[in-house]
Amino acid sequence: MVDIAHGSTAPAAPPPPTRRRFLGLVAGGVATVAVGVAVAGDVYASGRGVFASGSGPAYAPWQEWDSGAAPVRLVNAGILAANAHNAQAWRFTVGPRRIEVYDDVSRSLGAVDAYRREIHISAGCAVENIALAAGAAGLVPTVTLAPGGDPALLARVDLVPAATTTSELYRAIPLRHTDRGAYQSDREVPADVVGGLDALADQRDVRVLWLLRPTERAAFSTLTVAATEAFIADAQQSRDDNSWYRSTSTEIQAHRDGVTPDAGGLSPMLRTLGKLMPATPASNNSYWLSGTRDRQLPTASGFGIMLVRDATDVAQRLGTGRLYQRMHLWATTKGLAMQPLNQIVERAERERVTGGDASIGRGLAALVGDPAWQPVMPFRIGYPTTAAPASPRRPVADVVVGAA
Amino acid sequence: MTRRVGWTVLTLVLACGYLWIGVAAPVPALRWPALAGGLLVLVALGLAARSRPTAVAVLVVGALAPVVTGWWSIVVPLTAVMIILCGVVAVRETAPVPVGSA
């Protein structure tokens, strides 16, 4: 045997059992274990969806939204609407000249949304997308909110053929995503942008209260952190909230709803950890509180609170959803990011349900400052630092339940 | 099993890890770097007998290619470190082909 590697022609003797040889064996053993861990990590991470952010059938509706024939095509746009906890608590019936939107009462946020306020607002967001998509499909929509009869029937959209009109807001439908990440903290929202958002309101009983001055923002932030802490301390509310968290790729593709690590506004590495580590309610709550307190509130350029004359009125809630969706689409076209921050209203409602301490409710009333208007949906606005990810969606086949 | 074979097998297994990620990742930004990285590591092992410096260079490029787009995934940087550690030893343990031989 010739030791070519070392240029020697001497016969190689079997290595003696030296300390060096022993250490070499130990190094080989350690390397073998490390390689096993690394490769097992690759396979495990693949299975947990670490490398599959925003892909798969659960995200297909974002690509297929303007395909197919009207009026089902309008529902494709409807299901991409903003909605609370991504619960998608909506059902549709579709006829040649009519789409009806129903409350899917089998899907609930429980103690998070005891009065189904957020579910109704979410349905209003879907109605707005449907109305925008109607124009692009050569149909003029006539929307009737809360038409009566069946209490689950939330809205009726009657459609009449007309010339095709594709609006800027319609084109923004697949680009709009709730942005839970940090915003550019040094950038204010210009007055003309706020004016543009206000100009989108077309109902007398729905409007936006803007909180843009530093003192107003600080008051809103303090109250939101207090509400988030109270929310987490409420076992029932926390449990119902956590039931909508989806952490693994398998869960996301199976349910196609809920809040995912990708859409949670976390940094890429924290997002990976969230997928690799088993999620617990305690860890979810901890990330939520720290994200709200340290990222979402301090970096927002401003806050808004959607107000209505009567917070129990279903039509006004639906109108709130229509306006919010319109505003978010318009904001998307201007490069702005938005995110609902509902903790204050959720806690105020919870205080009414439990009859306990009403401190959050009192704080909210003080923030609004006008008893003639009732708050139904706070949100934040600002300029994004990264592109907001899409959230999973159920297919149209799952939500169209019959003919209108 | 000789030391060379042992380290080469470990590096091959790690390269397969990259190929697995490449096949499993639906996102092109990670899929192609992972597939290319895995193949480059295999090429590096094949080059080891001809030119150690070239083999090490190809190995490092292959190991780091997926890290550029997948640094946040924790497991990709870990795999890259292991590829470089095991792969460099495997290359060094490989006897070079004498000049003039086929």
Question: What's the ipTM?
Answer: 0.84
pLDDT for A368 equals 97
pLDDT at B26 over 80: no
Q: How confident is the model at residue B95 (pLDDT cuts 50, 70, 90)?
A: confident
- Return all residues near A219 (Cβ < 8 A) that are at least 6 apart: A211, A367
Separation in Å, CA of B52 to nearest CA in chain A: 12
Q: What is the mean pLDDT of chain A?
A: 92
Residue range A225-265, pLDDT digits in tens: 999 999 999 999 999 999 999 988 889 999 999 999 888 88
Q: Do the Cβ atoms of A155 and A127 come closer than 8 Å?
A: yes
Q: What pLDDT is recorded for position A6?
A: 45
Surface-to-core class of residue A399, CB atoms within 10 Å of its CB (0-12 exposed, 13-18 middle, 19+ buried):
buried
Nearest CA in chain A to B14: A39
State residue A8's pLDDT score: 45
- Work out the percent of chain B whose per-residue pLDDT is above 90: 72
Write phi, then psi, for A280 (nearest 5 degrees). Answer: -125, 160
Does the distance separating the beta carbons of A268 and B20 come in below 8 Å?
no
Q: For residue B17, which residues of chain A lie inside 8 Å, CB to CB?
A: 38-39, 42-43
- What residue of A is the nearest CA neighbor of B86? A31
> How does the average pLDDT of chain B come out, rounded?
90
Q: Which residue has the tokens 């990330």?
A: A287
What percent of chain A shows pLDDT beyond 90?
76
- Categorize the per-residue pLDDT at B102 as very low, low, confident or very high, splitting at 50, 70 and 90: very low
Which region holds residue A179: left if phi is over 0, alpha if psi is between -120 and 50, else beta?
beta
Looking at residue A55, its pLDDT comes to: 86
Backbone phi and psi for residue A277, each to the nearest 5 degrees, phi listed first:
-90, 145
Closest Cα to residue A81, out of A325, A309, A251, A370? A325
Q: Which residues of B touch A37 (CB under 8 A)?
A: 78
Q: What is the pTM of this model?
A: 0.85
Give the pLDDT band (50/70/90) at residue A270.
Answer: confident
Q: What does the pLDDT read at residue A14?
A: 62
Half-sphere CA count of A255, side-chain side, radius 13 A: 21
The residues, ordered by sequence, that sit 6+ positions from A229 with a Cβ below 8 Å of its Cβ are A289
How far apart are alpha carbons A184 and A218 in whole angstroms? 17
The whole-number pLDDT of residue A3 equals 39
Based on its alpha-carbon atoms, the radius of gyration of chain B, rounded to whole angstroms, reads: 14
Strands A206-211 and A302-308: antiparallel
pLDDT at A341: 98
Q: What pLDDT is recorded for position A156?
A: 98
- pLDDT band for position A390 (50/70/90)? very high
A271 touches chain B (CB under 8 A): yes
Mean pLDDT (whole number) for B62-78: 93
Please state the rounded mean pLDDT for residues A157-162. 96
Q: What is the pLDDT of residues A279-327, one digit of tens each?
A: 789 988 998 999 999 999 999 999 999 999 999 999 999 999 999 999 9
Q: Could you tell me the strand order of the sheet in which A139-145 lies?
A: A139-145, A153-161, A98-103, A90-95, A400-402
Q: State the average pLDDT over residues A23-40.
A: 88
Asked if B35 has any chain A CB less than 8 Å from its own CB, the reply is: no
More confident residue, A180 or A269: A180
A2: pLDDT strictly greater than 50: no
Phi-psi label, residue A54: left if phi above 0, alpha if psi -120 to 50, beta otherwise: left
> At residue A117, does pLDDT exceed 60?
yes
Query: Would you say residue B101 has pLDDT above 60?
Result: no
Taking the C-alpha atoms of residue A393 and residue A109, their distance in angstroms, rounded to an integer, is: 17
Q: Which residues of A touch B14 (CB under 8 A)?
A: 35, 38-39
Question: Would you call A284 exposed, middle or buried from its count of C-beta atoms within 10 A (0-12, 13-18, 19+)?
Answer: buried
The pLDDT of residue A24: 82
Q: How far is CA A404 from CA A96, A138, A261, B12, in A?
A: 8, 19, 37, 60
Per-residue pLDDT for A275 more than 70? yes
CA dihedral for A340, A344, A347, A353, sign (positive or negative):
negative
Residue A206 has pLDDT above 60, yes or no: yes
Averaged pLDDT, A341-366? 96
Helix (H) or strand (E) holding A222: helix A214-233
Other CB atoms within a 10 A radius of the CB of residue A271 amount to 21
Check residues A343 and A3 and name the one with the higher pLDDT. A343
Mean pLDDT, range A146-162, rounded to an integer = 96
Instruction: For residue A376, name the pLDDT band (cuts at 50, 70, 90).
Output: very high
Do the beta carbons of residue A363 and residue A345 sit within 8 Å?
Answer: no
Residue B27 DSSP one-character state = S
Which chain A residues touch B74 with a CB distance below 8 Å?
41, 45, 269, 272-273, 276
β-strand partners of A308? A206, A374
For residue A365, what are its two tokens?
């009333």
Q: Which residues pair with A378 in a beta bridge?
A: A305
Nearest CB neighbour to B13, from listed A5, A39, A56: A39
- The answer to which of A16-20, A90-94, A215-219, B44-48 has the lowest mean pLDDT is A16-20
Helix (H, G, I), strand (E, B) or coil at A143: strand
Q: Which long-range contacts (CB under 8 A, 24 or more apart) does A282-291 make?
A: A284/A242, A284/A245, A285/A232, A285/A238, A285/A242, A288/A228, A288/A232, A289/A225, A289/A228, A289/A229, A289/A232, A291/A180, A291/A264, A291/A265, A291/A266
Q: Which residue has the higher pLDDT, A34 or A266?
A: A34
Nearest neighbour of B25 by CB, restricted to A37, A52, A271: A52
Give the confidence band of A363 by pLDDT, cuts at 50, 70, 90. very high
The residue that leads in pLDDT, A298 or A46, is: A298
Token pair in block for residue A227: 């509400």
- Chain A residues whose beta carbon lies within 8 Å of the beta carbon of residue B79: 38-39, 41-42
Q: Tell me the pLDDT band of A170, cut-offs 50, 70 and 90.
A: very high
B30 contacts chain A (CB < 8 A): yes
Q: How confident is the model at residue A16 (pLDDT cuts 50, 70, 90)?
A: low
3-state secondary structure of A379: strand
A253 touches chain B (CB under 8 A): no
Q: Decide if A8 touches B, using CB distance below 8 A.
A: no
Could you give phi then psi for residue A244, rounded to 5 degrees?
A: -100, 5
Q: For the residues B18-44, what does the mean pLDDT come to?
A: 92
Is the Cβ pair A50, B16 closer than 8 Å?
Answer: no
> In this predicted structure, what is the pLDDT of residue A404?
81
